[in-house]
Structures are given as C-alpha cells and as structure tokens.
Homo-oligomer: A and B are copies of this chain.
Amino acid sequence: MYLHGRNVLKEILNINNTVKVKQVIFTNQKNADGQINLLKEACYQRGFKVESASAERLAQLTGEKKHQGVVIEINKFPYHEFEKLREKLTRKNTSIVVLLDRINDPHNLGAIIRTSVAAGVDGILIPEKGSCSITPSVIKVSTGLAFRIPITVVTNISRAIDLLKEDGFWFYAATTDGQPYYRENYSEKSGIVFGSEGRGIRQLVSKKCDFSISIPMEKNVDSLNVAASAAIIIFQMRRKLLSSGDSNGN
C-alpha cells in the first residue's frame, strides 16, 4: 500500500511501530525544498529504508499527482480488532465511539477521522461492506491522524452496537428529525452513528440506537455535509463529556 504526503510521513515518524514501513521513497528532484531533507534524515534515524525516484514515478505509484514528493510503502493499514477496542474502552469511565454507516466518500471519511482525533474520540467503527475503507486518500485527508485512533472494521454493525451496549454504551443516531444535538445529555459512554449522505443510516442500525439527534438548520436546506455534521456533534459531545479542562480555557 503506497501512502503519500508529508503530514502522513510525519505522523508515521511520530508513532511507535504500529505500522510496518517497507520503504519511504522521496522525489529525486534537484530543487526539492529543505523539508524533504529533514524528513529523509528522520527516516534514516528511525531505520526506515529510504529510496528516491522521479516525481512521475511517485505519481505512478500512488495514482496521485499531489504526492508532495513523499511516498511511504506500508504493508497494510493497521486496523484494530473489535475485541481489543472493547477491552480498552472498559478501562475508561468516559468515552466516545464513532460509528460510520456506509460513508463512501474518502474525503468525508478522512475528515471525520481527523475531527475525531482532535476531539479525543476513542475509536471509529466502520462496516465491512458498503463503506469506503482506509485508503491512501483517506489517510492523506486525515493528515495522517488515521494512525492515531483505533479504527475497527465490523462485519455486523448491529451486533457491535449490542455488544457495546452490554459494556455500558448508549447510542445516538444523527438524523434529520431528532432532538437538537445540544439539548442531549450524552451518556458517559456514548456511541454516535452517522449515515451516508443521501441515504442516511440504515433502518436496522438506527433501530438499535437509543436516541435520535439532529442539527437544527434553515428551512429549505436539505442537509449538511456529513463531515460538517460530525464536526458539530462530536465537538458538542467532547464539550459535554471530555473537556473538563477546556472550561478553564485550556
């Protein structure tokens, strides 16, 4: 799997061996800027295999012109096992998990991952079928933050909700006709479900949810972009659940 982008490499350099790097390939352009050299140096120090190639070759490897002169080959994206995520969550008093029901647009998926990491979300669940997986584009849009949060693929999303409910979670479905998101007193263990744009959350999934919330907006506007909705709701949940420190202005 060929990843691209400087922020992605920086993230990989920052994390500890959760991702197996096969090689890092830099542009061999003579006029490459100084940051490339700094990144190269950091790769040597981490013991990564470093190669160089033409910008065209990098574009060919990644299928992406905007590779920023940096391509990282990894084995595969390090998904988390569901049971390991559950174990982690039981050790916390307060936590938020984000469940994405069939988000197909890589830009939206990457944006929601980035937002989730910034908000301190504990894990992201995506269904095995009908969803965009964690592709190089998703990782790029997440600015590499996809490596900082447990992302779990579940075969049966209803079953996953049931199991997390057993662990003390309550589930909130983001819909167009629920209670205003800011009126909700989120449970200390909260799961928030977002559906795809256009199609929303599947009925079998929304039935499993305990509450339905929505974002009040102007009449005659169909809906927000799902990444915008997620930002608004997830940061409200953070504010209610995770951010006791924030109230002091930190």
Q: A224-B231, A228-B227, A228-B228 are in contact. Are A250 and B216 (CB under 8 A)?
A: yes
Selected interface stretch from A27-35, A74-82, A109-117, A166-174: A109-117
Judge if A235 is at the interface, Cβ distance under 8 Å: yes
Task: Produce 1/0 per residue, A231-250, CB < 8 A to B.
Answer: 11001001100010111011
Whether the pair B246, A118 counts as a contact (CB closer than 8 A) is no
Does A91 sit at the interface, judged by CB under 8 A? no
Residue from B145, B228, B239 within 8 A of A182 (CB atoms): B239
Question: Within 8 Å CB of A119, what residues of B?
Answer: 217-218
Decide yes or no whether A85 CB sits under 8 A from chain B. no
Q: A180-B246, A216-B246, A249-B183 are in contact. Are A224 and B118 (CB under 8 A)?
A: yes
* Contact A145 to B228, CB < 8 A, known contacts A239-B182, A249-B183: no
A228/B120 in contact, CB under 8 A: no
Copies of this chain present: 2
* Bound form: Cα–Cα A61–B87 in Å: 54
Q: Which residues of B contact A117 (CB under 8 A)?
A: 218, 221
A134 in the interface, Cβ–Cβ < 8 Å? no
Whether A215 is near chain B, meaning CB under 8 Å from some CB there, is: yes
Chain B minimum-CB-distance residue to A112: B228
Q: Do A227 and B224 touch across chains, with their CB atoms under 8 A apart?
A: no
A104 at the interface (CB under 8 A from B): no
28 contacts between A and B (CB under 8 A): A107-B107, A111-B228, A114-B224, A114-B225, A114-B228, A115-B225, A118-B217, A118-B221, A118-B223, A119-B217, A119-B218, A120-B217, A179-B249, A180-B246, A183-B247, A183-B249, A216-B245, A216-B246, A216-B250, A217-B238, A224-B231, A227-B227, A227-B228, A228-B231, A229-B231, A231-B232, A232-B232, A232-B235
- Chain A residues packing against B (C-beta within 8 Å): 107, 111, 114-115, 117-120, 143, 145, 179-180, 182-183, 215-218, 221-225, 227-229, 231-232, 235, 238-239, 243, 245-247, 249-250
Q: Which 6 residue pairs are nearest across A and B when measured between Cβ atoms? A: A216-B246, A228-B231, A118-B217, A118-B221, A231-B231, A120-B218
